[in-house]
Structure 1
């Protein structure tokens, strides 16, 4: 203010002095000098009014431009500016608004690139797990190959053992067959022996009858010799000898009959034993034939197993080669993906750095209003998270509950729920990433804290929004998931 007064004093004083000197030099009278002075003052008043009317809009315009550059918005229709100022203002507003729009787009691009980086990091983690699984598969497949080789060797040994067993069984069958033939021959001989013994027994009976008749004749001869007296004594001696011979013959026949009976009993026992042995030999032959057939079947099965094992071994070797090639390719791809992820991360950092240079400032009252609104919405999410339909972590129940929440609260731009591992139970709209465990809103809520993000540009509506999230707890208070939402902000 002092500088403005000094400015006007420096103008008015020289003008008045110049007018008085000019009037004295021209020998004007007093009224002429007064008139010149009045005209000069009138000119200065008009100049002052014009300067004021020009400087005030200019100062206001300068202030508005400063606010615009600082990130605040304003409505140019609320104030009247001279036409030439409006053109200047428009030429300033247009690039600034373009700058703000570009900043929003840059923030959005940075978020999308960051999301892509997160997804690539998840892909890298999955790829590393797959690579480790490949290594495990290679180890298991190698063990399987060794096992297959050992099995093949064991099968070959078993085949050799079966072949040897078949040879032994064939030899045993031939031996048993020979025994059976010999047993049949012995049986035939025993039958012949029984027949011969029977014939001998018949002969011995005939001899016994002859001996009996001879003894009777000797008795009669003795009687007749006794009647003859002296003349019959020699005949009596002969008769006595014949009698002794017949008695000895009878005794021998009786002893022979006993021996023949004993021989018949033993031969019958031998014959019975031979019949039993014959049946056993026949059973042995049948068992040997069955065992030989079973060995043939086992041999065929083992040959099939050997063939299948060989094919499986070849397939396992081919699979090992494919797994090894896939693992090598996976490692190469993983390296390329890691490089791309690093480049995208650098790009995201650059975009974030660029967008952070332009700050969009908002009125403190508006910020406080948005904060209160976010706290109210967090309370709504907390109330929903305590419901049984959410605590059960069932996808169908989550879909029903969250869709109803979305319809009742249009301020929600998106709602979703996550499991403790970061995977999504339900999301509306569909989530753009497979797992959220790298996001701040998930990490904070998963540890039991409520979360509210800073303002950012939504990838869905391309407008300002914030993200809020709350933990999902079961009846014991344990965190079993995360419930989150994107909130639209007022323009």
Structure 2
């Protein structure tokens, strides 16, 4: 449990079938003549292989962590007057600052209520060339991250997916932009990189 960084709520009992398989695997290593200690990295590998449900739960934990953190940030962002103006010249500088402050973000974008992208590509410098396929006025009206907020006016978080642009594992958080009359005038979407989120969590745990 300790070697695999398993939360208390997910502790595994010694009688778990996966534990027996791990023990047999380790015993087999020493029967073959191994003399070194099993490293934490190897133990995590065995846990991944023989008790995979633990790490499915870890995905959920990280998704919830991302949701709690980014939903709070998104709520503040969509209340920003420059964002709610739906003037891309005012929105883009705000989005760029937000991206700079939150390096786990892969891509940010705003659409109008018809799903048409109204801002240029807001992403890290290293990914700019990859996102050139996305143009102003591209239609995203069939995307879940657009449909959800337009339908119920709430902030939505997608399941994990692999980005077709970067190949990175991501989730998208999106929410409605409203005018002074509380009418929805656009949708703001944020793609979060799973790998960077994990790194951030590990760094926080080391502090």
Q: Same-fold call, TM > 0.5?
A: yes
Aligned counterpart for 1:435 among listed residues 121, 126, 139: 139
Alignment partners' CA distance in 2, 1:59 and 1:376: 37
**1:81 paired to 2:81:** no
Aligned counterpart for 1:457 among listed residues 153, 162, 165: 162
Choose between structure 1 and 2: higher strand proportion. Answer: 2
Aligned counterpart for 2:101 among listed residues 405, 408, 416: 408
Aligned to 1:467: 172
Alignment partners' CA distance in 2, 1:382 and 1:485: 12
Matches of residues 8-407 of structure 1 in structure 2 within 5 Å?
A: 59-60=21-22, 81-82=29-30, 84=32, 362-364=55-57, 367-407=60-100
Residues 12-51 of structure 1: CA deviation (Å, up to 9, x unaligned): xxxxxxxxxxxxxxxxxxxxxxxxxxxxxxxxxxxxxxxx
Residues 221-248 of structure 1: CA deviation (Å, up to 9, x unaligned): xxxxxxxxxxxxxxxxxxxxxxxxxxxx
Alignment partners' CA distance in 1, 2:141 and 2:33: 53
Contact 1:458–1:465 under 8 Å retained in 2: yes
Alignment partners' CA distance in 1, 2:159 and 2:20: 36
1:61 deviation in Å? 5.8
Distance 1:362 1:58, change over 3 A: closer
Distance 1:82 1:467, change over 3 A: same
Q: Give unpaired runs (5+ residues) of structure 1.
A: 1-56, 65-75, 87-96, 98-358
Structure label with greater radius of gyration = 1
TM-score under structure 2 length normalisation: 0.62
1:362 deviation in Å? 1.9
Distance 1:395 1:363, change over 3 A: same
Aligned to 1:487: 192
Residues 158-182 of structure 1: CA deviation (Å, up to 9, x unaligned): xxxxxxxxxxxxxxxxxxxxxxxxx
Residues 38-79 of structure 1: CA deviation (Å, up to 9, x unaligned): xxxxxxxxxxxxxxxxxxx984266x7xxxxxxxxxxx9xx9
Alignment partners' CA distance in 1, 2:53 and 2:165: 20
Alignment partners' CA distance in 2, 1:85 and 1:456: 42
TM-score under structure 1 length normalisation: 0.28
Aligned to 2:114: 421
SS in 2 for 1:380: helix
1:376 deviation in Å? 1.8
Alignment partners' CA distance in 1, 2:169 and 2:178: 30
1:385 deviation in Å? 0.8
Alignment partners' CA distance in 1, 2:103 and 2:92: 17
Q: Give unpaired runs (5+ residues) of structure 2.
A: 1-18, 35-44, 46-51, 124-130, 200-207
SS in 1 for 2:29: coil
1:456 deviation in Å? 1.4
